Amino acid sequence: MSNFSIYDVSQKSGVSTATVSRVLNNSPRVSQKTREKVLQVMREMDYVPNAYAQGLIKNKTKTIGILYPDVANTYVTRTVFFVEKILKANHYFSLLSCTGYSFEEKKLRLKMMLGQKVDGVVLLSSSYTEADSEHNRYIVECAKKIPVICVNGHVEGPNIYNILCDDLDATYRAAKGLIRSQERGRIIYLYSRDTYSNKLKIQGFLKAMLENNIPVWADSIQMCGGDVEGALDRMFQDPNAKPIGAIMASGDTIAMKALKYMEKRKISVPEQVQIIGYNNVEWGQYTTPTLTSVDAQIEQISSTAVKTLLDVLNGREASQLTMYPGSIIKRESTRESFNVEEPNVI
């Protein structure tokens, strides 16, 4: 029932706890004979060292905290798993914490991670990047103690490392492609919530519109939360509205809901309305028509995030900002004539 300690092992193998510890830590200062004897005893007792005692003295726990806002967001959840997988491959544990979107809760959870003595922390999602940089101070404070990795967010400060997808440029290029491929009809941008990342996407959208002298109306850019039907109803049912030729979405779920909406209203995609999603989730391949989407390079970003973290933890140099271009995956919800430029490398 009860677990064995290093003391039990030392007793049974007739050496001191110091020697057992040396064996445990692969110290060269142990004779081959002693080492084998101790290892044998450990195996017999099925001894497992207490990570809490080790963490207490070493002040390193081989554990990384992962904060994420939401279980419903596929982009976030996929990233969590990639990060955990790569961390594990590097012999780190992952301590999870779902924080929600409330500022106070995010702050509290980060503080609790500090109590858990994690060696570093990963903030997954742009929702940890507040508009008012004063509100990011709790992150800057945290970074004084342990390295902070922002995935798809951007917080400036020492010991903070940002890895993100160039959402602005990807959205810009997608919007530009849409403009070139269609003669008429408005282009609508639908997004879920006000996050740092969505703000960038909207900027990219606007940039493409303005550069091409396309007028943008108040309802051209709409926050819809989960209610995509409602937002589309308002636009498609309005008899005075200019006809709509394309819909861009900040996420694939919104785009898929739009696809279903068109199917129900017998509006053909992509002939009458083109649709583009974001994140390139697997299920975009199974809709009818299949969904054109922006691949935000989750795997690439996750692995760079972990690599950066390990570099920092091991005292190596690391870049404080790494940006990947998004890749636009062309499928059936856009026309043949829809094409995009190469990314603007920064």
The answer to whether the CB of 152 falls within 8 A of the CB of 323 is: no
* Pairing of the two strands 221-223 and 186-191: parallel
Residue 214 binds which entry of DNA, a copy of itself, none, with Cβ cut-offs from 5 to 8 Å by kind? none
Structural contact between residues 94 and 87, judged by C-beta atoms closer than 8 angstroms:
yes
Element (H, E) at 186: strand 186-191
Quick one: what does residue 17 bind among DNA, a copy of itself, none, with the CB cut-off 5 to 8 Å set by partner type? DNA
- The least distance separating DNA from the CB of residue 17, rounded to whole angstroms, comes to 4
Classify the C-alpha dihedral 199-204-210-214 as positive or negative.
negative
Nearer to DNA, 35 or 85 (CB): 35
58 binding DNA? (CB under 7 A): yes
Cα angle 322-250-201, degrees, rounded to a multiple of 5: 50
* Identified binder of DNA from the candidate list 26, 46, 57, 314, rule CB under 7 A: 57
Helix, strand or coil, per DSSP, at residue 191:
strand
**Burial environment of residue 300 by CB neighbours within 10 A (0 to 12, 13 to 18, 19 or more):** middle
Distances (CA, A) of 319 to 45, 75, 149, 312: 46, 24, 11, 10
Residue 314 makes contact with DNA by CB under 7 A: no
Judge if the upstream peptide bond of residue 289 is cis by omega within 30 degrees of 0: yes
Sign of CA dihedral 123, 250, 169, 332: positive
Q: What's the longest Cα–Cα distance across the chain?
A: 90
Q: Which does 39 bind (CB under 5 to 8 A by kind): DNA, a copy of itself, none?
A: none
Q: Find how far residue 341's CA is from the centre of its chain.
A: 25
| Cα dihedral sign, 153-117-137-144 | negative
Q: Site for DNA (CB under 7 A): which residue of 26, 41, 42, 49?
A: 49
If residue 67 lies in a helix (H) or strand (E), which one and from where to where? strand 63-68
C-beta closer to a copy of itself: residue 33 or 264: 264
316 binds, among a copy of itself, DNA, none (CB under 5 to 8 A by kind): none
Q: Which of the listed partners (DNA, a copy of itself, none) does 33 bind, with a CB threshold of 5 to 8 Å by partner kind? A: DNA
Alpha carbon distance 39, 49 (integer Å):
13
Find which of a copy of itself, DNA, none residue 21 binds, CB within 5 to 8 Å per kind: DNA
- Decide whether 5 or 74 has the Cβ nearer to DNA: 5
* Interactions with DNA, residue window 7-36 (CB under 7 A): 7, 14-22, 24-25, 28-31, 33-35
| Nearer to DNA (CB atom), residue 44 or residue 233 | 44
Q: Count residues contacting DNA (CB under 7 A)?
A: 32
88 is in the binding site of which of a copy of itself, DNA, none (Cβ under 5 to 8 A by kind)?
Answer: a copy of itself
Of 48 and 346, nearer to a copy of itself (C-beta) is 48
Amino acid at 64: I
| Minimum CB–partner distance for residue 238 and a copy of itself (Å) | 25
Q: Say if CB 221 and CB 162 are below 8 A apart.
A: no
Among DNA, a copy of itself, none, the one that 78 touches (CB under a kind-dependent 5 to 8 A) is a copy of itself
Q: Which residues bind a copy of itself (CB under 8 A)?
A: 1, 3, 46, 48-53, 55-56, 61, 63, 71, 77-78, 81-82, 84-85, 88, 93-98, 111-112, 114-117, 141, 144-145, 253, 256-257, 259-260, 263, 281-283, 285-288
> Under the rule (CB under 7 A), what is the footprint of DNA?
3, 5-7, 14-22, 24-25, 28-31, 33-35, 47-50, 53-54, 56-59
